[in-house]
Amino acid sequence: MTLKQLFMKYLKGLRLRLVSLIGVVITYVSLTLISPLLFAFLIDNVINQEPITSNWLIQYSNLFGGVDRIRDNLWLAALMIIAVNLIIFVLMYLRGRLNGVISERYVERLRNDLFEHLQYYPYHAHVNAKSGDLIQRCTSDVDTIRRFLAGQIAELVYAISMAIIAMVILVQINVRLALIAMISLPFLVLFAYFFFMRMQKVFQSSDEAEGELSTVLQESLSGVRVVKAFNREVFELNRFDEKNKKYKDLTYKLIELLGMYWASSDFIVLVQIFVVVIFGIFAAQAGEITVGQFFVFLSYESMILWPIRNVGRILSDLGKMLVSLKRLNEIFNEPMEDINSGDIVDIKGDIVFEHVKFQYEDGHVPVLEDVSFTIKQGETLAILGPTGSGKSSLVHLLTRLYDYNSGHIRLNGHELNTIQKKHLRHQIGIVLQEPFLFSKTILENIRLAQPDADENAVKKAAEMASVHRVIHEFDQGYKTLVGEKGVTLSGGQKQRIAIARTILNQTPILIFDDSLSAVDTHTDEKIRHALKERAIGVTTLIITHRITSAMQADKIIVLENGRISQQGTHETLCQEEGLYRRIVTIQSQMIEGGEEDE
């Protein structure tokens, strides 16, 4: 999608209002330009009794009974000026209202689409992206677009229409003086254009620096426990100071450029006004223009030059908006994950891996190589292996966060990559190693996947997760609010609430991705025992480093360097030479050592 297509997409339904805004601004400009003409008419034709040379002024004076009647009733002149200014007031209100409606509705649609796109962002894109930068794009960049729409379109129409209409009127009054009054306009426009080109590059650098600053801030706040635990406050302060200084320097450069533009353009405008004053005085003395017309020239000169001078600011804001649109377009150009295509099949829990190979796009070696195993419905499979052996990648494949490169994965005989992702993820419950809790009540966190579940079902799931009694000890029980990311709870409590949330979903396949590591061995055993008794027919995969969590499984596989090195039951694997027996020996000695210490 091009920047133009992205910008125009959200103007649908607002184009009539945009046209109305342009019409209101042009009418406002026309009436603003009429005010000096009315004063000139009063000075030259009413007070000084000079003959009227303009047809529209003759028709205008006839509406009030002619010049003589206006001279005898000057209150009519005051009434005319008041009426024009009242209309201008109404037009200003309409302009502000239309600006607000267009900008806010535009940005509302943009934000909604942006958030939806991020929700369906492919998993690999989220992994590679910096969350602070994404947040900055969704807030600061969107607000840059809102500010442009809220004022700069109307300002641009105002400047252009003011210059054109005023020039037409001035040429009719005195061609030579009108040309003198316009002599600086090309220089102002060219100066504004070159300034715009320079500003766009500097603003992009400043915007990217702000994104880096937001990333550091987000990481530091999210990892506050780690920062404090390892006394990293000074390091984080230095890191933030470095990014903040970079952002400050780039923003200062931006401000410096703006200052140069305003100073230079002000000088050009003031010199131009001075030239018009000098030539206007000589023209009035020579009788080429009247005093009233000289007043019109002076009034129009300011009305033309200052808006044209502001075109530089409008163009700089346009540059900022284009940079922001480009950054948002990078998000929109990332294809959304298709979770609706594919077959909706009956999944009961039979899982077959046949010679599965998987390698990340940016990887150089396969993460999983020639992986084959079978799990029947209702069985429990334990997966062990050192860090980096491919345990979590295997889970990613099952939930189709990634698709395997070769081989076959079948669920009840159906090829995994043909199954609809949305349906598949409804059938697989997963408890992650690092559970995420939202800043809501415990009840709402457990009900996350089943918002309509009754409280009895929630309590049963909590009992299975061995957390029901703990929740009752809180002052407000299930209505207790947990802090952001569950910060008010211990690691084990968060883990068990996450387990209860997954159990409540009642899926035929249940995966524990090293998620029992935060609970003690006794609680771990209680949870597994409860699942075995009450979740009959549920296929369970347990990724763990604990032998006590794996030993009761129907089947155990050991992964090393992406390959299955051992496969069997606890008893058979204990008889084999290999990693499993070494882990059993080490953990048994640790347990015995702990008992001796006690």
pLDDT band with cut points at 50, 70 and 90 for residue 597: very low
Binned at pLDDT 50, 70 and 90, residue 598 comes out as very low
Percent of residues, the chain, with pLDDT higher than 70: 90
Taking only the tens place, the pLDDT of each residue in 364-381 is: 888 999 999 999 998 889
Residue 311 has pLDDT above 80, yes or no: no
* Predicted confidence (pLDDT) per residue in 128-143, tens digit: 777 777 888 888 889 9
Q: How many angstroms separate the CA atoms of 142 and 90, rounded?
A: 30
Biggest distance spanned by C-alpha atoms of the chain:
121
Q: Encode pLDDT of 523-577 as tens digits.
A: 777 777 777 766 678 898 988 888 888 888 889 999 998 899 999 999 999 888 8
Question: In this structure, are residues 52 and 61 in contact, taking their beta carbons and an 8 Å threshold?
Answer: yes
Structure tokens at 449: 């996947």
Q: Is the pLDDT of residue 593 over 70?
A: no
Q: Looking at residues 207-231, what average pLDDT do you find? A: 75
In 10 A of CB 312, how many CB atoms?
A: 23
CATH class of the structural domain 3-332: mainly alpha
| Residue 273, helix vs strand vs coil | helix
d(CA 403, CA 360): 10
Surface-to-core class of residue 576, CB atoms within 10 Å of its CB (0-12 exposed, 13-18 middle, 19+ buried):
middle
Taking alpha carbons only, the member of 264, 242, 261 closest to residue 253 is: 261
Comparing 2 with 591, the larger pLDDT belongs to 2
Q: In which band, very low, low, confident or very high, does the pLDDT at 487 lie, cut at 50, 70 and 90?
A: low
Where is pLDDT greater, at 72 or 398? 398
For all residues of the chain together, what is the average pLDDT?
A: 82
Nearest to 307 by CA among 23, 103, 32: 32
Please tell me the predicted confidence (pLDDT) of residue 596: 39
- Is residue 22's pLDDT more than 80? yes
> What digits encode the pLDDT tens for the residues 263-282?
887 888 888 888 888 888 88
Q: Is the pLDDT of residue 37 over 60?
A: yes
Q: What is the mean pLDDT of residues 63-73?
A: 69
Helix residue ranges per DSSP H, 343-475: 391-398, 421-427, 442-446, 455-464, 468-473
**3-class DSSP assignment, residue 373:** strand
Write down the domain spans for the chain.
3-332, 351-597
Q: Does the pLDDT at position 407 exceed 90?
A: yes
Q: Indicate whether 198 pLDDT > 80.
A: no
How many DSSP H helices and E strands does the chain contain? 24, 10
- Residue 114 near residue 142 (C-beta atoms within 8 A): yes
Contact 25, 154 (CB under 8 A): yes
Residue 356 has pLDDT above 90, yes or no: yes
More confident of the two residues 345 and 546: 345
> In this model, does residue 347 exceed pLDDT 80?
yes
Listed ranges 15-29, 229-243, 443-457; the one with the highest mean pLDDT: 15-29
**What is the model's pLDDT at position 225?**
63
Q: 351-597 has which CATH code?
A: 3.40.50.300
Region of poorest pLDDT, from 156-160, 431-435, 450-454, 541-545: 431-435
| pLDDT at residue 363 tops 80 | no
Region of poorest pLDDT, from 18-22, 344-348, 385-389, 558-562: 385-389
Minimum mean pLDDT range among 223-227, 389-393, 472-476 = 223-227
pLDDT of residue 555: 92
Residue type, 316: S
pLDDT for the residue numbered 357: 94
Residues 6+ apart with CB under 8 A from 398: 351, 409, 416, 428, 509, 511, 541
User: Cβ atoms within 10 A of the Cβ of 389, count?
Assistant: 22
Listed residue (68, 57, 562, 71) closest to 359, CA to CA: 562
Torsion of CA 62, 63, 67, 69, to 10 degrees: 120
* Backbone dihedral region for residue 376 (phi beyond 0: left; psi -120 to 50: alpha; all else: beta): beta
pLDDT band at 287 (very low <50, low <70, confident <90, very high): confident
Q: Which residues of 412-447 are buried (b: 16+ CB within 10 A; e: fewer)?
A: eebebeebbbeebbebbbbbbbebebeeebbbbbbb
pLDDT tens, 92-124?
Answer: 999 999 999 999 999 999 999 998 888 888 887
Choose the weakest-confidence range: 97-101, 224-228, 316-320, 492-496. 224-228
Compute the average pLDDT of residues 4-13.
86
Do residues 314 and 155 make contact, with C-beta atoms less than 8 angstroms apart? yes
Per-residue pLDDT at 485: 59
